[in-house]
Amino acid sequence: MSWRSFPKAELHLHFEGAAPPAFIRGLAKEKSVDLTGVFDERGSYAFRDFPHFLQVYEAATQVLQTPRDYQRLTRAVLEECAENGVIYAETFLSPDFCGGRDLHAWRDYLHAIQEEADRAEREMGITLRGIVTCIRHFGPDKARETAICAAETAGDWITGFGMGGNEAIGRQGDFIWAFDCAREAGLRLTTHAGEFGGPDSVWQAINDLRVERIGHGVRAIEDPRLVETLAETGVVLETCPGSNVTLGLYRDFASHPIARLRDAGVNVTISTDDPPFFHTTMTREFEALEQAFGWTADDFAELTKTAINAAFCDEGTRARLLKRLEST
Ligand code: HPA
Ligand code: ZN
């Protein structure tokens, strides 16, 4: 069966990481930006490992220089999502890339993104919400500035705060101020942990940052007590199996712990992370999971429902999405 039109909800999507390579190349040409080293000979993003991926990612963002560029990016990303049956997506947005953490500039970027997202909702029936994201390897001071941008723009559309970047640098606890600031502004919280960091990083995310969702979190499987805690507390994992396989955490989908975590009662969901970087789409994730674990429409409907229930959106939006899922 083709999973393309099956309704999907995606909770873990880096906005610049979702940019089609041709889109970035087009902007580079318009602006005469040299992107040597960003693409391979076939035109795909080229990177050796995770730290190099982050470098290439940041190099590609150089062409995204204005709110108008982000408006065009919004269109390109949402078209791709909608073509893959995504009815709801949350995306990580970094004021670091959108206006250099200047609040005034950040508001302009946000306005442009939201305007295009509203248009996409009317035309393609896809709903988008934003999670402001600090970048771990940029350090706690920049994260504070990012958290202030998040707090000042918290509302119906910016509904969450999170952290991406290089998990090998610093500790979750270094970012307590930023996460407390975001929580006090009413934002819901997630952080990358248990991808390149082990179970300890997931414990720190829960205990120090008090997040309700974890980006990846799959290495929790190495600590049975942590798996139990995740199942008992209902902390949700934003699992991105294709990303983990491409970056070499697991040999293939069949070796990925998503099914074992799910069987242990952990709330797992499915996302793509940075789809063109990892040669994936939501449709491909579903296909590979079906092949690896024999998951059926009932399984995928349950996973989509888990994602909608864990979405950082208002209750009216949630009810509407659940209804849409039930009617298909
Ligand atoms: N992981 C962590 N940080 C990131 C990623 C990612 O996949 N993409 C952009 N920043
Ligand atoms: Zn990620």
**Is ligand 1 within 6 A of the CB of residue 17?**
yes
Q: What is the dihedral of CA 248, 249, 252, 253, to 10 degrees?
A: -140
Cα-to-centroid distance, 216 and ligand 2 (Å): 7
- Say how many Å lie between the CA of residue 54 and the centre of ligand 1: 7
Q: What is the pLDDT of residues 216-257, one digit of tens each?
A: 999 999 999 999 999 999 999 999 999 999 999 999 999 999
Give the integer Cα–Cα distance in Å for 316 and 246: 37
How many separate domains does the chain show? Answer: 1
Checking if the pLDDT of 203 tops 80, the result is: yes
Give the residue among 231, 149, 142, 212 at the shortest CA–CA distance from 182.
Answer: 149
Upper half-sphere CA count for residue 252 (Cβ side, 13 Å): 5
Percent of the chain clearing pLDDT 70 (strictly above): 100
Is ligand 1 within 6 A of the CB of residue 273? yes
Give the domain range for residue 265.
8-318
- Nearest atom in ligand 1 to the alpha carbon of residue 136 is 3
Q: Is residue 324 part of a domain?
A: no
Find residue 86's DSSP bridge partners: 8
pLDDT at 321: 98
242 lines ligand 1 (CB under 6 A): no
User: What 8-state DSSP symbol labels residue 236?
Assistant: E
Domain contains 1: no
| CATH code of 126's domain | 3.20.20.140
Task: Supply the residue whose CA is at minimum distance from atom 9 of ligand 1.
Answer: 14
Q: How far apart are CA 165 and CA 157, in angstroms?
A: 23
Has residue 163 been placed in a domain?
Answer: yes
Closest-approaching ligand to the CA atom of 271 = 2
Distance 316 CA to ligand 1 centre (A): 30
Is beta strand 86-93 parallel, antiparallel or unpaired with respect to 127-135?
parallel
Q: Is the CB of 57 under 6 A from ligand 1?
A: yes
Q: Would residue 323 count as lying in a domain?
A: no
| Alpha-carbon gap, residue 328 to 324, rounded angstroms | 7
216 lines ligand 1 (CB under 6 A): no
* Most informative mutation of 11, 12, 13, 14 for ligand 1 (most atoms within 8 A of CB): 14
Q: Look at residue 1 and tell me whether its pLDDT is greater than 90.
A: no
Active-site positions? 195
For residue 298, how far is its CA from the centre of ligand 1 (angstroms)? 30
**For residue 156, is pLDDT > 80?**
yes
Residue 262 binned pLDDT confidence (cut-offs 50, 70, 90): very high
**Pairing outcome for strands 267-270 and 158-164:** unpaired
Average pLDDT of span 143-151: 98
Q: What is the pLDDT of residues 93-120, one digit of tens each?
A: 999 999 999 999 999 999 999 999 999 9
Phi/psi of residue 279, nearest 5 degrees: 50, 45
Q: Is residue 327 part of a domain?
A: no
> Is residue 195 a part of any domain in this protein?
yes
**Ligand 1 touching residue 276 (CB < 6 A):** no
Query: What pLDDT does 328 receive?
Result: 82
Structure confidence by residue, pLDDT tens digits, 71-89: 999 999 999 999 999 999 9
Distance 167 CA to ligand 1 centre (A): 10
164 Cβ inside 6 Å of ligand 1? yes
